[in-house]
Structure 1
């Protein structure tokens, strides 16, 4: 290992010598300096000295740029991205990828620039999804300028999926529409149908049922028969606030086999709450006369006074009969007095 490091240091001394100027050498020899730095980077990499390897690649890139060899300058930055990945130094990858893409574009190779952005975004997607999202956005812009529609649709799909993963549903809906537009240019109706399903799910996640129904009406003609049936059931469930029907629609096979981000979105989608119906009051059968049903109206309220009045009259009649019998005179002439009274 020490021999490789000594060899690398010797290449660095030669590179620095090439960059010096003198009375007879007015311009630095950037070409040979870049070559020496590149050889030094290879030696440092073999010696597992990754920090020095990355620094030499950066210096080699700068020498190529000074020499107007933009393609080789971008290539050195591309290699530096891989070294940063091995070092687990992911913070510098986005900056290096953007610089490399810019150099590729200046050289006239935008496809290579988009490839660098894509490669760097894949490295960052799991741990730094926000940086990966920005790189994919730049890749879409680069390839669409060059009329590479199919490649642009692929990068736009990655943009939409990362936005769904991050919960950026408003931006995800716009990204899906842009992806649909790119697929329209190449006439890929099957892909448009799948994206229509994804757009409906994203709109429902936003809580905008009207936008979801509008998306289905606009792009539903590109869906398969099974997809159309499932989307109709799903939208009907949200319209009727039927959680069971919505759950059955979201559990359909083709939704569960969509891209991971959309399948998780369907799994975590809030279901409609449904309409709650108040339970009816129970009526007691063979209830007593004084019982009043909770569901009875004014007629039930009048039955209680009527029953009490009848009982009062009956009690008064019995009381009067008892007192009249007690007040009758006793003796032989009592019956005559009663007869004389007659019916008066």
Structure 2
């Protein structure tokens, strides 16, 4: 679009704004005792469209906010939410994460107030993913996206699609993992596990349980990893056995077996960030040296010859599965 076209649209936008303001005026002499909010909202929305085409973002923001206000005055909160959602997007494009967060929260609240729970969490989800996937996204942008995705889950878990809402947490955990914020990522994975367990989604427990073990080992939290590998027996016995072997190899310093296990199909074909985590999982260096000096036999080799007795570790009390 050339400068002439943008100038024309900016002028049209100004005209619509002036028209909208006139609809808000009252006059005793003209027998107009209350503003015409419906007509004003329509004009302000037209101005918004013009300013967007003219790339006058600041003016577009003001037009959207005025339109949102007028829609609220006429009890059209859904349309008000739509306007405020655009404001949040504008601030995203301006790299103003503070105002972006402020207005997407307002937008979500408006959707909830008018009973649109799905839209209330999806507006967070959509905006967060667009922020994260931007080629110019910084760590601040990505952490803002994580915060939005967490809010999306809190709103969406009571929606008609709680499973989709929980995937917001899964996405957030991957962002944190990409930033090497393992502790925070583990917290979100644990929340996902608890929710999927509550609704009985075995398919997702398979994936989330694997992610939980990898993160726990990355953080050196071997007891937590072992406990999860035991819980996984109720989800998938084969994967539970693999995870049990992985934990045993990791705590023994058996790097060869750790690498071989994490190159297995279940690990390689999970989400990219977690597949990379598994591929790069390293045992404690002191344990590795000790294992090699002692002439320890790799656990994977023991499995191949039938000497491995690791499955005994999977014998546990029912209380451990709660």
Both structures adopt the same fold (TM-score exceeding 0.5):
yes
Q: Provide, for residues 219-246 of structure 1, a one-character-per-residue CA deviation record: whole Å limited to 9, x for no partner.
A: 2331362x33432331121232212111
Secondary structure of 2:157's aligned partner: helix
Written as runs of structure 1 = structure 2, the 5 A alignment for 1:143-158 is 143-146=156-159, 148-158=161-171
Distance 2:89 2:160 in 1: 29
In structure 1, which of residues 189, 193, 196 is the aligned counterpart of residue 202 of structure 2?
Answer: 189
In structure 1, what is the equivalent of residue 12 of structure 2? 7
Say whether the 8 Å CA contact 1:203–1:209 is kept in structure 2. yes
Say whether the 8 Å CA contact 2:255–2:282 is kept in structure 1. no
Distance 1:7 1:152 in 2: 41
Structure 1 gaps of 5+ residues are: 280-344
Tell me the CA shift for residue 88 of structure 1: 5.9
In structure 2, what is the equivalent of residue 269 of structure 1? 281
Tell me the CA shift for residue 171 of structure 1: 3.3
Tell me the CA shift for residue 59 of structure 1: 1.6
Q: Provide, for residues 105-162 of structure 1, a one-character-per-residue CA deviation record: whole Å limited to 9, x for no partner.
A: 1111121111110111012224211111111111111112336421232122123222
Say whether the 8 Å CA contact 2:251–2:283 is kept in structure 1. no
Tell me the CA shift for residue 249 of structure 1: 1.6
Secondary structure of 1:164's aligned partner: helix
Secondary structure of 2:180's aligned partner: coil
Q: Provide, for residues 190-223 of structure 1, a one-character-per-residue CA deviation record: whole Å limited to 9, x for no partner.
A: 2211211111111111211111101111123313
In structure 1, what is the equivalent of residue 129 of structure 2? 122
Q: Which protein is bigger by CA-based radius of gyration?
A: 1
Written as runs of structure 1 = structure 2, the 5 A alignment for 1:187-336 is 187-223=200-236, 225=238, 227-273=239-285, 274-276=288-290
Distance 1:200 1:92 in 2: 37
Report the CA distance shift for 1:122/1:250 in structure 2 as closer, same or farther (over 3 A): same
| Residue 41 (1) aligns with residue 48 (2) | yes
Larger deviation, residues 109-118 vs 151-160 = 151-160
Say whether the 8 Å CA contact 2:230–2:244 is kept in structure 1. no
Distance 2:224 2:243 in 1: 13
Report the CA distance shift for 1:278/1:156 in structure 2 as closer, same or farther (over 3 A): closer
Q: Provide, for residues 79-105 of structure 1, a one-character-per-residue CA deviation record: whole Å limited to 9, x for no partner.
A: 334444556666543222111111111
Secondary structure of 1:246's aligned partner: helix
| Residue 109 (1) aligns with residue 116 (2) | yes
Indicate the structure whose relative CO is greater, using CA pairs within 8 Å and at least 6 residues apart: 2
Q: Provide, for residues 160-184 of structure 1, a one-character-per-residue CA deviation record: whole Å limited to 9, x for no partner.
A: 2223233333333332232123323
